[in-house]
Amino acid sequence: MSRITGLRVRDIRFPTSREHDGSDAMNPDPDYSAAYVEVTTDALDGLTGSAFVFTIGRGNEVQEAAIAALRGHVVGRDAEALLADMGGTWRSMVHDSQLRWLGPEKGVMHMAIGAVVNALWDLKAKRAGLPLWALLASMSPEDLVDLVDFRYLTDAITPAEALELFRAAEPLRAERRRRLEQSGYPAYTTTPGWLGYDDDKLARLCREAVADGFTQIKLKVGGSVDEDVRRLRIARQVVGPDVRIAIDANQRWDVDEAVEWIDRLREFDIAWVEEPTSPDDVLGHAEIARRIAPVPVATGEHMANRVIAKQLIQADAMRVLQIDATRVAGVNENVAILLLAAKHGVRVCPHAGGVGLCEAVQHLSMFDAVALSGALEDRCIEFVDHLHEHFVTPVDVRGGRYWPPTAPGAGTEMLSDSLDAHTYPDGPVWAAASAADPVRDTIRVA
Amino acid sequence: MSRITGLRVRDIRFPTSREHDGSDAMNPDPDYSAAYVEVTTDALDGLTGSAFVFTIGRGNEVQEAAIAALRGHVVGRDAEALLADMGGTWRSMVHDSQLRWLGPEKGVMHMAIGAVVNALWDLKAKRAGLPLWALLASMSPEDLVDLVDFRYLTDAITPAEALELFRAAEPLRAERRRRLEQSGYPAYTTTPGWLGYDDDKLARLCREAVADGFTQIKLKVGGSVDEDVRRLRIARQVVGPDVRIAIDANQRWDVDEAVEWIDRLREFDIAWVEEPTSPDDVLGHAEIARRIAPVPVATGEHMANRVIAKQLIQADAMRVLQIDATRVAGVNENVAILLLAAKHGVRVCPHAGGVGLCEAVQHLSMFDAVALSGALEDRCIEFVDHLHEHFVTPVDVRGGRYWPPTAPGAGTEMLSDSLDAHTYPDGPVWAAASAADPVRDTIRVA
């Protein structure tokens, strides 16, 4: 038996705003950040479970405080017991009646639970000697169903239906896994598309994306429609007619505005329109989806929880569901969302980028491809070529595809040197930054 | 000119769980708490703006950290400029692009903005020498519309429509105000209805409620349907056929479960069924509302923001909208929600209780009664007889009605002695509690 001995939280920030990396219509100057958590035990294996909430700068310390508030749920507990019943572990935190008031099941407190849950999954996978996707894909249908809290979901999927889905996929797992390992999982790239890049950089990065084997790119839109037309024209010209171009408005519009704006961009053969409006606006997305059809709506990176996911599906509000590894309460809740999508035949194309989101979310798609939906060729995981060098097991993306991780764990462990260098506000990167650019803490409003 | 010199945050908790006050199907042992904020300036008037986020115990320190993260938006700023443009002040915080990521517009970070916004309103009202409701009801229609951010709302209400509503009410303000001051605003009481109370206490409190002039009471349900039947039978017998009885499930059910449960309770002539399911589940509420009609659904105390409010109205998901003073981003967002309700003819019966929620929310209903919907006799504000003694200007509830506050401010300032006594974990109340009851920090799960 081993005990959880510590839950350490760290405020890690990267000064990405200096290069306009990640700039979009709502987020002009993000500093990609991680409220990073490490769970330690007294086991002789010395293994640590690591995970994080991704944020974009200010407020990362609030996220840190929320993770620290979960200490009592973890520290001092029997590690085997927590890891053997991850469904129960999840419920004990999400249904803590006092903490629940702070959401319920949304925002800072819910994401904090996600980080702790994911750190425990990282530890569990390392103990099993398996990458997380393979660990999940080795669990029995019954055990997988046990991970999921079906509260508020039973009008869209029941535990019995979930079990049926996992059971139907079980005989196919081995063959699907072989295929995944042989061919990888499709990726698309957002690297060319940030609003802050000039036309030359846009064209160059589009060219590189095609040369790198990507068959879909994504451009940020929503600043100015004329600018969007111009940038889409450049991109379409560079990539040619066969590479898909998705666009991402990052919640910029109201319903009518979205429809009018997209009408101006239709000519460029849009693969999907992402986050046209508020991520909470299920009915708004549904109305937009109806009016811009056949251009598909994509959304989900900011959906607060499985209840919003359920409604997006029920209302036919999108064609492409974009799960995020650190927005909801961790692996368990994403399994619930994958189940909803699988049952209702919705494509899942995860949100990634930021810092570590690619490393984390690939495991969910690969698990789904092996043990649940089995779908893969109509899907793609977002890829942005930033900050992978800070991870112990960075993603392997080649030829426009994600190649399945083989290292044990959830992919969410950062390098010790990177953590030390980027600790905010006292790490050397930030100490240097404040000296070089004293106005960098100026607040900009979207 | 004066400057904001400080933003002080305090962790204030009341050990209410010892008496089962506030116990319901989801919250067995709340310790009513306030993440309390005080805004100070260098003006000679010495006035302070005070407000809080209401929580139920653990995690109050997370809320505290979130409020502190807003310091840069307030401290050092020109107080007159912030207070003269409360719409702009609201936007500067809600649209802070980095902090926005932590919601967006929901949960811990959004409620923190609400507390700071409300503290500024408290200061503004004190400076004006008016209670908040009267200050709001003295503003021009144009200035009121300027308070509201219509982003994501224009498919349900436009600024022009909002202006029209305020203008139509303007000539009626004086007469409505007279009526309000003469007759008060209807209240209902939840004091009898907590799940943790035994039958004798339930019956006694029901009798007292009627004797006190209340014409509506509310009972918590959702623990066990047989228990609910028994308790409703007692309550109905005591209060007679003419007093309305509402029930509150505190998010306990899935859709089918809600419908079946309520079918068992119909015979008691239910005034409304509150929070039958997840507060995020607009479509679930709509389905329940359709299937239990004509029993009305009430919800809103946990709705994260105006976008959820909009959809509840669009989907016909409830008949009674229950705004809360500290769940959304303060007065401004509640004005937006009151506008949505007024335009679409929805009854607003605010959630209150907790600590200070009665003191805070009455101002919003009274403003609405004077300067917006004008409705009053078909509405009622929740009242729970707890913890009012800790406020500088406690509510005045007599004869089953709220009487309009006359003291300048928003009602949200607590007594200095109460703050000191209930500071967590070092105030005398908590130091004593830990000594007397060493297991009180045990975590219970709903």
B104 contacts on A by Cβ (under 8 Å): 251, 278-279, 302
3-state secondary structure of B234: helix
Q: Mean of the pLDDT values across residues B174-203?
A: 94
Instruction: Decide yes or no: CATH 1.10.3720.10 for domain A4-130+416-436.
Output: no
**Bridge partners, residue A82, by sequence:** none
Closest by Cα among A68, A86, A92 to A7: A68
Confidence of residue B193 (pLDDT cuts 50, 70, 90): confident
Q: What average pLDDT does range B155-167 have in this prediction?
A: 98
Place of tokens 């506030």: B22
This complex has an ipTM of: 0.96
Mean predicted confidence (pLDDT) in B127-151: 98
Mean pLDDT of B336-342: 98
- A360-379, pLDDT tens digit by residue? 999 999 999 999 999 998 99
Per-residue model confidence (pLDDT) at position B26:
78
Distance from the Cα of A223 to chain B's closest Cα (Å) equals 15
Residues 236-255 of chain A with CB under 8 A from chain B are 251, 254-255
| Res B28: pLDDT | 80
Would you state the pLDDT for residue A439? 42
Q: What is the DSSP letter of B268?
A: G
- Per-residue pLDDT tens digits for B276-285: 999 999 999 9
Instruction: To the nearest 10°, report the CA torsion of A104, B331, B298, A106.
Output: -10
Residues of A with Cβ-Cβ distance to B105 under 8 angstroms:
278, 280
A220 reaches B (C-beta below 8 A): no
Residue A446's pLDDT is 46
From the candidates A110, A218, A220, A422, which is the catalytic residue?
A: A220
- pLDDT per residue as tens digits for the range B283-333: 999 999 999 999 999 999 999 999 999 999 999 999 999 999 999 999 999
Q: What would the pLDDT profile of B390-431 be if each residue is shown by its tens digit?
A: 999 999 999 999 999 999 999 999 999 999 999 999 999 998
* pLDDT confidence of residue A443: 52
Q: Is A220 one of the annotated active-site residues of the chain? A: yes
pLDDT digits (tens, 9 = 90+) for B83-122: 999 999 999 999 999 999 999 999 999 999 999 999 999 9
Q: What pLDDT does B47 receive? A: 98
Residue B12 in this model has a pLDDT that exceeds 90: yes
Q: What is the pLDDT of residue A26?
A: 78
Q: Cβ-count burial of A182 within 10 angstroms (0-12 exposed, 13-18 middle, 19+ buried)?
A: exposed
Predicted confidence at residue B20, as pLDDT, reads 72
Q: For residue B138, what are the contacts with CB-CB under 8 A and spacing of at least 6?
A: B130
CB A155 to CB B284 under 8 A?
yes
From B76's Cα to the closest Cα of chain A, the distance in A is: 13
pLDDT at A242: 96
Residue B433 has pLDDT above 80, yes or no: no
Residue A441 binned pLDDT confidence (cut-offs 50, 70, 90): very low
Question: How distant is the Cα of B251 from the closest Cα of chain A, in angstroms?
Answer: 9
pLDDT of residue A322: 98
B251 to chain A: closest CA residue: A152
pLDDT value at A130 more than 80: yes
**Are the C-beta atoms of residues B275 and B303 closer than 8 Å to each other?**
no
- In chain B, pLDDT over 90 holds for what percent of residues? 91
Q: Does A158 touch chain B (CB under 8 A)?
A: no
Asked if the model's pLDDT at residue B80 lies above 60, the reply is yes
Closest chain B residue to A442 measured between Cα atoms? Answer: B72
Domain boundaries B4-131+416-436, corresponding CATH code? 3.30.390.10
Compare all CA atoms of chain B with the CA of A68 and give the residue at the minimum distance: B62
Whether the pLDDT of residue B444 is over 70: the answer is: no
Q: What dihedral angle (degrees, nearest 10) is formed by the CA atoms of A336, A337, A342, A343?
A: 70
Using one digit for the tens of pLDDT, what is the confidence trace for B41-62? 999 999 999 999 999 999 999 9
Percent of residues, chain A, with pLDDT higher than 70: 97
Residue B383 confidence class, pLDDT cut points 50, 70, 90: very high
Give the C-alpha separation, A229 to A219, whole Å: 11
Mean pLDDT of B228-256: 97
* Average pLDDT score over residue span A175-184: 98
Q: Mutating which of B108, B281, B328, B443 best tests the A interface, going by the most A Cβ atoms within 10 A?
A: B108
CA distance A101 to chain B (A): 6
Query: From the CA of B410, how many Å to the nearest CA of chain A?
Result: 23
When the pLDDT of each residue in chain B is averaged and rounded to a whole number, the result is 95
Residue-level pLDDT at A6: 97
Q: What is the pLDDT, as a whole number, of residue A435?
A: 59
Task: List chain A residues with CB under 8 Å of B58.
Answer: 69, 96, 98-99
* Cross-chain Cβ contact B98/A256 below 8 Å: no
Q: Assign A436 a pLDDT band (cuts: 50, 70, 90).
A: low
CA-CA distances (angstroms) from residue B77 to A59, B40, B110? 20, 11, 21
Residue of A nearest to B27 (CA): A97
What's residue B441's pLDDT? 47
Residue ranges of domains in chain A = 4-130+416-436, 170-402
- For an interface test with A, give the residue of B29, B62, B157 to mutate (most A CBs within 10 A): B62
Widest CA span of chain B, in angstroms? Answer: 63
Q: Does residue B172 register a pLDDT over 50?
A: yes
Chain A interface includes B334 (CB < 8 A): no
One-letter-per-residue 3-state SS of chain A:
CCEEEEEEEEEEECCHHHHCCCCCCCCCCCCCEEEEEEEEECCCCCCEEEEEEEECCCCHHHHHHHHHCCHHHHCCCEHHHHHHCHHHHHHHHHCEHHHHCCCCCCHHHHHHHHHHHHHHHHHHHHHHCCEHHHHHCCCCHHHHHHCCCCCCCCCCCCHHHHHHHHHHHHHHHHHHHHHHHHHCEEEEEEEEECCCCCHHHHHHHHHHHHHCCCCEEEEECCCCHHHHHHHHHHHHHHHCCCCEEEEECCCCCCHHHHHHHHHHHHHHCEEEEECCCCCCCHHHHHHHHHHHCCCCEEECCCCCCHHHHHHHHHCCCCCEECCCCCCCCHHHHHHHHHHHHHHHCCEECCCCCCCCHHHHHHHHHHHHHHHCCCCCCCCCEEECCCCHHHECCCCCEECCEECCCCCCECCCCECHHHHHHHECCCCHHHHHHHHHCCCCCCCCEC
Mean pLDDT of chain A: 95
Q: In what helix (H) or strand (E) does residue B49 lie, and over which residues does it extend?
A: strand B48-55
User: Quick one: pLDDT at residue A28?
Assistant: 80
- Starting at the edge strand found earlier in the chain, the sheet holding B33-41 runs B4-13, B33-41, B48-55
pLDDT at B436: 55
Residue B158, φ and ψ in degrees, nearest 5:
-105, 160
User: What is the predicted pLDDT for the residue at B412?
Assistant: 98
- Tell me the catalytic residues of B: 220, 351
For range A132-160, the mean pLDDT: 98
CB contact under 8 A, A283 and B62: no
Would the CB atoms of B69 and A62 count as touching at under 8 Å?
yes
State residue A24's pLDDT score: 80
Supply the CATH classification number for the domain B170-402: 3.20.20.120
Judged by a CB distance cut-off of 8 A, whether residue B275 touches chain A is no
